[in-house]
Amino acid sequence: MDDIKQTPEENQNEESVLSLTDAWSGMSRDERREKFRELPRTEAEELFLSLKTHDQAELISEASALEKRSWIRLLAPDDVADLIQEIGVDSKDDLLTLLDPQTKREVTALLAYAEDAAGGLMSSRFVRLRPDMTVDEAISYIRIQAKTHVETIYYAYVLDSEQKLQGVVSFRELFSAGPGKKIAEIMHTDILMVPPEMDQEQIGQIFSHQDLMAVPVVDENGVMKGIVTFDDVAHAIQEEATEDIHKIGGVETLDAPYLKIGMLEMLKKRGGWLLILFLGEMFTATAMAFFEHELAKAVVLSMFIPLIISSGGNSGSQASTLIIRAIALREVRLRDWWKVLGREVLTGLCLGALLGIIGMIRIMLWPNRSSLYTEHYALVGLTVCVSVMGVVLWGTISGSMLPFLLKKIGFDPASASAPAVATIVDVTGLVIYFTVASVILHGTLL
């Protein structure tokens, strides 16, 4: 056991790498490059392999061809493909020439697929067996393959002479089987597989519902192209979730970590949506101008405008966020829109009634109510109550149905962002408010 214990120096180096990894995101580009160059080769390799693709690309983008060759050959083919896509297609040929012929072929094949599809995520290095092998032969063969840095050795995939997938066997089953048994006798043939074109979000759903560490990627002819592992999908799911969160917040997707986005780029990412929302909010002024006569006769109505429109915007934002996430998790589908509508109508009525009654009680019990809300304060309270009910109901319906509408016409449901829904409800909420006021206060204040 003594020969595998780490020396104090090795422990110190490991701690140094871990601390550097933790502090990496808060360091400037020059600081990172300087700290990286100060590390001994072994620790530098450990750090490089632990970094995200964006950070790896940043480190080697300005390196010499010899240094690039040294670092890029540390990566698995799928990671090299990710790195090339991160640096840009303009550097594709230059980077491919740095690889050995076998890896170059593998990376070229991976780059033929979309980055967010199974083919772009998969690794072409997996454990392969033949069905006519004995268990002993298979174990010996796996030892040889393990030296070639296969992606994972949790499963071994059984292929025929044409590379068509026949079955899969786990290492546990392999080592517990008799040495003379054929692989064909112990392999599982009911295999969950995905096509190369499947989107990463769909693959993530498969992993979330199945207790698997890897999924084989098989083309339309049954030929196995590679495997997608759980860690590949976890990274892809994180990217998808980040993209959705940005859209829900009314921001274009950031292509790099927050602190690495330049100020001009950040303004472009955020300014576009803000401009659209600002133009939308301008219709609020148009709506108020339309009801200028009512406002002039009953100035008290203006006191409750922020309350009314914020209630509708908040309820719409809640509904859109819940439905966008439910669609992303496949908890609801397009055909479920009417079920969602029924639930949201009931929810909107209950929430609207609760908020409206609270608002009316506040007006009815407020000290100096007659001087503050006129002698018709009871009717003003009723107006606020009914308006809040109507606006919250409308906000809930709008927020829940807009993601379905966008998905139906082929857009990302996450585009039904909370700010967008709030802007829509702000304008229509004013129309509802003044319409209710015109009916209830007719003959008194109006």
- Mapping DSSP onto H, E and C, the string for 103-138 reads HHHHHHHHHCCCCCEHHHHCECCCCEECCCCEHHHH
Distance CA 245, CA 349 (A): 28
CB atoms under 10 Å from CB of 146, counted, come to 11
Residue 333 in this model has a pLDDT that exceeds 50: yes
Q: What's the token pair of residue 381? A: 């309270």
Pair (282, 355) in one structural domain: yes
Number of compact structural domains in the chain: 3
Higher pLDDT, 371 or 159: 159
Helix (H, G, I), strand (E, B) or coil at 403: helix
Question: How far is 70 from 335, CA to CA, in rounded Å?
Answer: 53
The reply to whether 172 and 243 lie within a common domain is: yes
Is 159 found in the same domain as 97?
no
- Among residues 248, 277, 304, which one ends one of the domains? 248
- With respect to residue 152, please indicate whether it lies within any of the assigned structural domains: yes
Among 28-37, 144-153, 333-342, whose mean pLDDT is lowest? 144-153
pLDDT computed for residue 416 by the predictor? 64
Residue 250 — left, alpha, or beta (φ > 0 → left; ψ -120 to 50 → alpha)? left
pLDDT of residue 252: 74
Indicate whether 220 and 142 sit together in one domain. yes
The verdict on 314 and 427 lying in the same domain is yes
In a domain, 336, yes or no: yes
Q: Does the structure show a pLDDT above 80 at 53? A: yes
| Rounded distance between C-alpha atoms, residue 10 and residue 396, angstroms | 59
Segment 223-273, tens digit of pLDDT: 999 999 887 777 777 777 777 777 777 777 776 666 677 788 888 877 777
Residue 105 reports pLDDT greater than 50: yes
Average pLDDT, the chain: 84
User: In the chain, what's the furthest Cα-to-Cα distance?
Assistant: 97
> CA 25 to CA 143: how far, in whole Å?
38
Domain CATH number, residue 116:
1.25.60.10
Helices 305-328 & 377-408 angle (0-180, nearest 10): 30
- Note the pLDDT of residue 133: 93
Which of the listed residues 60, 95, 121 is the one where a domain comes to its end?
121
Q: Specify if 445 maps to a domain.
A: no
For residue 332, is pLDDT > 50? Answer: yes
* 292 lies in the same domain as 423: yes
Q: Residue 377 belongs to a domain with what CATH number?
A: 1.10.357.20
pLDDT confidence band for 350 (50 / 70 / 90): very high
Does pLDDT of 373 surpass 90?
no
Q: State both tokens at 132.
A: 């006519």
pLDDT at 276 over 80: no
pLDDT of 354 strictly over 90: yes
Average pLDDT over residues 7-17: 54
| pLDDT at 103 (0 to 100) | 86
CA 409 to chain centre: 21
In a domain, 65, yes or no: yes
- pLDDT, tens only, 179-236: 899 999 999 999 899 999 998 878 888 887 787 888 999 999 999 999 998 877 777 7
Q: Do 187 and 203 belong to one domain?
A: yes
pLDDT for the residue 3: 47
Query: For 336-357, what is the mean pLDDT?
Result: 94
Sorted by sequence, the CB contacts under 8 Å of residue 333 that are 6+ apart come out as 327
Weakest mean pLDDT among 32-36, 81-85, 283-287, 361-365: 283-287
Q: What is the mean pLDDT of residues 288-298?
A: 78
Question: DSSP alpha helices (H): ranges in 177-229?
Answer: 183-186, 200-209
94 plus 157 within the same structural domain: no
Tokens representing 259? Answer: 């602190």
Do 278 and 397 lie in one domain? The reply is yes
Predicted pLDDT at 339 = 93
- Higher-pLDDT residue of 11, 288: 288
426 close to 284: Cβ distance less than 8 angstroms: yes
pLDDT tens digits, one per residue of 159-177: 998 999 999 998 888 888 8
Residue 242 lies in a domain: yes
In three-state secondary structure terms, 158 is: strand
Most confident stretch, 12-16, 329-333, 351-355, 363-367: 351-355
Residue that wins the pLDDT comparison between 158 and 90: 158
Which residues is 226 bridged to in the sheet? 217
Distance CA(259)–CA(104), nearest Å, equals 33
Mean pLDDT of 23-31: 78
Instruction: Give the CATH number of the domain where residue 242 resides.
Output: 3.10.580.10
Are 190 and 299 in a shared domain? no
CB 276 within 8 A of CB 385: no
Any idea what the Cα angle at residue 403 is, between residues 401 and 408, rounded to 5°? 95
The residue from 102, 121, 140 where one domain ends is 121
Flag whether 253 is in a domain. no
User: Do residues 35 and 47 make contact, with C-beta atoms less than 8 angstroms apart?
Assistant: no
Query: pLDDT value at position 360?
Result: 94
Looking at the structure, tell me whether residues 312 and 414 fall in a common domain: yes
The rounded distance, in Å, linking the Cα atoms of 15 and 19 is: 6
Residue 8's domain spans which residues?
2-121
Start-to-end CA span in the chain (Å): 91
- pLDDT over 80 at 19, yes or no: no
Residue 318 lies in a domain: yes
Q: Is 205 exposed, middle or buried (0-12, 13-18, 19+ CB in 10 A)?
A: middle
Residue 446 forms part of a structural domain: no
Q: Is the pLDDT of residue 111 over 80?
A: yes
pLDDT at 243: 75
Instruction: Please indicate, yes or no, whether residues 73 and 220 belong to a single structural domain of this protein.
Output: no
pLDDT-derived band of residue 283, with 50, 70 and 90 as boundaries? Answer: confident
